Structure formats: structure tokens, C-alpha cells
A and B are shown apart, each in its own frame.
Chain A
Amino acid sequence: MPRFPGLIHCLATVSVALGMSAPTMAADFPSKPVNIVVPFNAGGSHDLLMRAFAPAFAKALDGNVIVSNMAGGSGTVAASTLAHDTPDGYKLGYWSVTVSTIQPQIKDLPYGEDSWTPICSVAASPTLLFVNAKSPFHTIDEAVAAIKAQPGRYIYGSSGPGTITQLASVAAFSGLGVLKDVRHLPFQGSGPALQGMAAGTIQFYGDTELLMQGGDFRPLLTFSDTRLADLPDVPTAREAGIEPPLDQLYLWGGLFAPAGLAADKRDALSKACGAAVASPELQAFAERTRTVLHYRDAAAFDAFYRAQYSANAKLIDAAGL
């Protein structure tokens, strides 16, 4: 029996922390609480999703999970901080498509495509391009014809520069060849933008189905691979003549660890994530909040994330960001 069990335990912890212990056993993982960092304020949609996700995730991991918030800089403050953290599997970030693939390509940030070990995707809502219900445009063709007839007259809005809402409109108008004929008006968040839409200041806006249903709006096209169940008459972007990769745009989010996470830990986390997404609790939450859950395991999410990174590079280029 060792005389200094505390000391040995302490040394063992230090050596693990320094990365000196050779094989970390996944069976021991997690031995302390896993922290999920939400890069936005408490009370936002990402925060609420993760707080509903955490208990199911903890159960599947057979450990404790805590959710913390670190807001600022459109989510980049948290991502920049976590990117240089130790990849021990105890600190994960819930990054959206914007935080992980768009912001690092438009700002000078201390993280990029290779800063992460993708764990799993949790949610993915397709985006739509829509107009006011009182708008004269009933189809995307009518809108394009009007834009061509009066270049520079029409304005599309966004919830801010470099957001998914801007890229949705950019994907549509760039894919249809009229991007230079429309103007962009950013707002501070989607609330003011929707008000601008209702007031007629802007004529086009792109966002998820949930947001669109909050107002009196008419969808023109959807950026998904198939038509949406609730909106069977709305054509997909592909049907409207928009070529890949601009024809699909999802507001997705998933868990990331700093790059270099051991494969066994990654797989344990990814498996638990899958179980959490499938859990009745989270399914019920998604039903109530109309969140579109979409699980991908570590390998599939890694491929998806990298494909998105380069596809969004084209969008960012088109947007002139």
C-alpha cells in the first residue's frame, strides 16, 4: 500500500494533464464533469438546446455534464479560447455553422479549419428565402425578373454581416446571377430584420422555417436536398436552377473538441451524443421548439464539416466578405 496515496494520485493527474501517460483508457472516461461551452448568451436558441441536451448526454456518458456560456464576437470569443485548450475531452464547444466555418474565414481569428476534432452534429435546419406576404412576388422567377428590370432597387436584409441569414440571400441571388443587382442591409439580430421586412424596408430575407412562421411571410425557395414536409409547394434551390454547392444551406450545430483528441474518447463522446439525440427527452424538446435534430457520428461529421468549410468559402467570396 503506497504511503502517499494522495501524492501518487496527484502525480498521476499531473502526468495525464501533461500528456505523459501513454494509453488513456476510455473506460475511465469521463472521470470528471464534461463542460459544453455555448458561445452565446444564456437564453438564446443554442443555449436552450444544449441545456436540454446536457442531461441526456450525461446519462449516455454515465458522467456529469455542465453547460457554460461565453459570449461575444458572434461566438468567436469562446471558439478562440477553446481552440488552444488541452484536447482532453472534458471541454467541448457547441459551434454553429457560422462560428466554425464562416467567422474564421472572414475575420483574423486564432482558429481555423484544422483547429478542431469534430465530435457529432446535433441539429440542422434548412434555410429558406422568403418575402412579405403582401409582396408582389409569388415565385422566385417573378422576383428575378423584377430585379433584372430595376437593378439596384431591391434590398435583402440580414441579421448581421457574415451570418447565415446573409449567406442564404447571397446563395440565392448569386446562384441566379443577380447578386450585383440587389443591395444588402444588415440589422442587429433577426428581430429588427423581421421588423424591417414587415415595414417594407427590405424585400427579401433568408432564415429557418421556424423564424419564417413567426411572421406573415411567403417562402420562395428552400435550401435543402428535398422539399420540406410542411411546405410541399415550395421548390428547392436546385429545382429553381441554383447549382451546387450554393443550393444547400443549413443552420447546423455540433460538438467540437480542440484538435488532437484521442480517437477512443472521440468515439465515446460521439456515441453518447447519438444516444442523447435519440433520447425521448430531446425528441420531445425538439418537437416543442421545432428544432430539426440531425445526428452525424464523428467520421460523418468530420467529412460534412470540411465540405461545408470549402462550400461556404465560395459563398463568402460571392458575398464580398
Chain B
Amino acid sequence: MSAFFEIKNLEAGYGNSKVLFDVSLKIAEGEFVTLMGRNGMGKSTTIRSIMGILKPTAGEIYHDGTRIDGLASHKIAKRGIGFVPEGRHIFPNLSVRENLLMAQIKRGSANEWDVDSVFDFFPRLAERMSNGGDQLSGGEQQMLAIGRALMTNPYLLILDEATEGLAPIIRDEIWDQLGKLKAMGVSILIVDKELDALSELADHHFIIEKGEIVWQGDNQALMSNPAIHEKFLGV
């Protein structure tokens, strides 16, 4: 498969503190890719750099053949890169429905996401459609954050710590839904620590250590190599 999203030798940091030294990764259309690593290794910094929230100091990011590093954050999202940030970040002063409606980007293709299809995908949200964002449970907020990203009809969905802090039963529900998104052909880049769940869904894995991609491979290569788990993931 050819890459429709690619990062080449990305470097980034905060002020004088450099966090990413050499991050390169590729995602093919419809692929489910993970970015794993221990805390503080640069996973979220990579995601923030992709989304234009943090300006890279070196390297290149391409989407569909177009260089996107240096673009304003909202322009990157408009290109079709949906983002579910760590901590959910839904808007507490808007209702569930308003949170979704506000995010809608129509791309003129068939089977686009709209409020009804998001409610079909997450029936719990339909039950809470008039509730304020701050009246939802953590799991419901995560569903809303994913639903809101889907409303932008993304070609690539990026999730940062999508299941962190959620009850196991809710986590399972989120994983099930991500599996359905994969089956629909949505490309996904996910940062998470749940190796078991990721191994069932992911096509390809990247492991980041001290700001560099130190290992990459397919699912079989990762699962058949416990030394990698121990060395880089602390599992």
C-alpha cells in the first residue's frame, strides 16, 4: 500500500527543550496504525506536531502528497485529519447535539457522517443529546469526542490516549467502535497503552523512545517479540 500520510525526520520541542529528534512514519489508506511508547517519550508531541498545535523545528509532514507542516491547525483539520485529543476536551457549555453540529464539515461524498449517523454509531449519545457536555460520564465524553471528530468526515482519524481512565466495559465499547471504523475504511493513528486491544485491531506499529522511532513492524512481529514489550513498552 502507498502512503497517503507520511512524516519524515520530524523534530519538535517546547522552547529550548527538544522532545522529538527523528520521527518518521507512514500510514497507508485504510490502515490502523499505533504509536506506542512509555510516558514522556514524545507520543503526544508527535500528535501535536501533526495537528499544527506545535510547530516542528525540522522535518516534513505530508498528507495526500501535500506538505502540511507549517499549516494552521484548523487548515490541517479541514484537510480531513480528525483529532480526538487526550482528555477528551469536549465543550462543556454546549449540549451533545451542539458539540456535534458545530464540528460538521461536508466533503460532498456519499455516506458522510452527520448527527444521525453519529447517534446510530453511539446510541448512548442519542439518549443524552440535550445534556450539556459537562453532564456526561467519562465514557460518554470520549464517545462525543470521537463523534465530533467523525463529524469532520476525516480521511485520517488521530486518537491520543482514547481509552485512558475509562472503565473496562466502556473501553471495550470504544475498541469495538474503532474496529467498526477500521472496517469502514477510515485510516487511524492511535496512541494508547492497551497492547491487547491494539494487537487485535492494528495493522502496523511504531514505537517511540526518547523522541525517536526505535522500532516498527506489523502486528505479528510485535506480538511475537516479548523483548520489545519489555524494553520499550514496560509491559
- Tell whether A and B belong to one assembly: no
